[in-house]
A and B are shown apart, each in its own frame.
Chain A
Amino acid sequence: MQWETVIGLEVHIQLLTQSKIFSSAPTRYGAEPNTQANLIDLGMPGVLPVLNAEAVNMAIKFGLAVDANIAPRSVFERKNYFYPDLPKGYQISQYQIPVVGNGHIDIQLEDGEVKRIGITRAHLEEDAGKSLHEDIADKSGIDLNRAGTPLLEIVSEPDLRSAKEAIAYLKVLHALVRYLDICDGNMQEGSFRCDANISVRPQGQTELGTRTEIKNMNSFRYIERAINYEADRQIALIESGKQVQQQTRLYDPSNNETRPMRTKEEANDYRYFPDPDLLPLTVTQDQIDTIRAVLPELPKQKRQRFQEQYQLPEYDARVLTATRELAEYFETAVKHTQGTPKLVANWVMGDLASALNKAALDITQSPVSAEQLASLITRISDNTISGKIAKTVFEAMWAGEDNADPDAIIANRGLQQVTDSSTIEAIVDEVIANNPTQLEQYRSGKDKLFGYFVGQVMKASQGKANPQQVNELLQAKLKA
């Protein structure tokens, strides 16, 4: 039987505020344990939460970017459960009326088709603290620094049909929240983490199968593997006549499998109710309009502009706008070159991207700046060096030679292209004189040997002869 996998994702993004959602304590990551939690975060008696206006603005920004409805009035509720890293015994979240409802984002599938993925809602809530299991033998340690950090939980419709689609969606979302500057997207530090709801059904069936939820994943690779594992597990269960149990599971990357969480059945009874400490959150049309007016250019708009303004193919535009930082790098480099955006694109996506990849660096850590890369490209387009020699220069720049200044490297290494035709002619004559056998074969019809002569001339000139001139001269001389 053909099976279809159905996936819906819940993504928690940590909002890039300075202070917590209901208190003025800092949100700084990596501080000494329990030094960034104030009396509100610690759930001390008699304190009251006061909402951080910037967290609301960020939620609205996100809502506008995914064409969602912004609720004129939304409600904070208490989600009640007991866990050592939750000091109050409840998490303040939004339940019945979230601030952002009903939006969508478009993803591109492998075959190029664009698919629209519904966003059911996005709501504001506070994060819990951290439980540490390694530090103290047979006990758990609790660090409440993270308690009260603002989160936006983004819930998708069950519109995704494979692990690949899920990853495509997550990558678009990840780029979007960084473009909006509402989340740093740091997955290792848990700023962008994902729960996946997964079920399978026979192809063609409209009714959904029983789903399981895999909690708390923070790596694209693991999410993809976890979804594939879980879908296979469910299919195998059903095909052997068993049933899928609705449950929460965790993915174990070291064994590549999912396992059920050891949770009491009552654990899902959160008894939400409106938080009496907080009035409904009102958002005015004025506030929405003000935020809309300052929204940055979003990935889709930037992609279209890159295609039009720089005459780039759709593929290039997509790659170059994958992150805001990469797009900025490209545009800075273009600004410092003359009329060669496609050449810049090729360098950024080619040599630069592969060097970054090899060194596991991102674009903001590139040892070659956009301006320096632009100087190098200018030297190609003004014929100071050939494209091939440019690769050598780039490697030297990457290694930090001459402060990554291409002109200094070209001068010090004597890499200027030879365009003086008498110099090239002398080399061509020498090569022809040294290869009488090949010359004879060529003249008797073995056209392929032309490339051999080009190679010999380039070699003799240490790659510096202008290739076009070499071609023209050889063509003329070999004929004679």
Chain B
Amino acid sequence: MELTATDVSKIAYLARLAIQEDNIPQYADNLSKILEFVTQLNSVDTDAVEPMFHSGHIELRQRADEAKQPSNSRDKILALAPDAAAGLFVVPQVIEDK
């Protein structure tokens, strides 16, 4: 599968990666090669094989529904953020719904 420059830009945008315009052809080439390599798997006949979602042969661990007050301090957590006020993380305005 051949990735175009547009595909690369779109993937970079979705992942919020800032990439240099100059590097796009190289990324497109490398990513295409990776895909091509993985595509070899398509040649295997898997009709009789059940889909696998995880390689581990163990059961999903579950916990009882018991609430515990978080041990982390709000002030310390908020201090990690670029901006905070009134107990809230502060971010550039997101008004998609107004």
Contact call B59/A279, Cβ cutoff below 8 A: yes
A32 CB-CB contact with B under 8 Å: yes
Tell me which residues from 16 to 35 in chain A have a Cβ below 8 Å from any Cβ of chain B.
17-19, 24-28, 32-35
Residue of B nearest to A89 (CB): B16
Indicate if the CB atoms of B93 and A133 lie closer than 8 Å: yes
State which size class the interface on A falls in: 35 or more
Chain B contacts for A38, CB-based, 8 A: 68, 70-72
A343 at the binding interface (Cβ < 8 Å):
no
Name A97's closest neighbour in chain B (CB-CB). Answer: B53
Please determine whether A261 and B97 come into contact, CB atoms closer than 8 angstroms: yes
B78 within 8 A of A: yes
Interfacial chain A residues near B54, Cβ < 8 Å: 274, 276, 279-280
- Report if A36-B60 is in contact (Cβ < 8 Å); known contacts: A261-B97, A274-B53: no
Answer whether residue A141 sits at the interface, using C-beta atoms and an 8 A cutoff: yes
Cα–Cα, bound, A261→B92 (Å) = 18
Q: Which residues of A contact B88 (CB under 8 A)?
A: 33-34, 132, 135-136, 141-143
Chain A residue nearest in CB terms to B61? A50
Find out whether the CB atom of A139 lies under 8 angstroms from the CB atom of B72.
no
Query: With A and B bound together, what is the CA distance between A35 and B67 in angstroms?
Result: 13
Knowing A51-B61, A250-B97, the reply to whether A141 touches B86 (Cβ < 8 A) is: yes
Asked if A282 and B10 make an inter-chain contact with CB atoms under 8 angstroms apart, the answer reads no
- Proximity string of chain A (114-153) to chain B, C-beta cutoff 8 Å, 1 when within and 0 when not: 0000000000000000011101101111111000000000
A216 / chain B contacts, CB cutoff of 8 Å: 97
A268 and B90 CA atoms in complex are apart in Å by 25
B64 located at the interface, meaning its Cβ lies under 8 Å from any Cβ of chain A in the complex: yes
Which of B83, B88, B90 gathers most chain A CB within 10 Å? B88
Q: Which of B68, B74, B92 is close to A35, meaning CB atoms less than 8 Å apart?
A: B74
CB-defined contacts of A141 to chain B, threshold 8 Å: 85-86, 88-91
A residues neighboring B (CB under 8 Å): 17-19, 24-28, 32-39, 41-42, 50-56, 75, 80, 82-84, 131-133, 135-136, 138-144, 216, 250, 261-263, 266, 269, 271, 274, 276, 278-282
Q: Which 4 A-B pairs have the closest CB atoms?
A: A141-B88, A54-B65, A38-B70, A26-B67
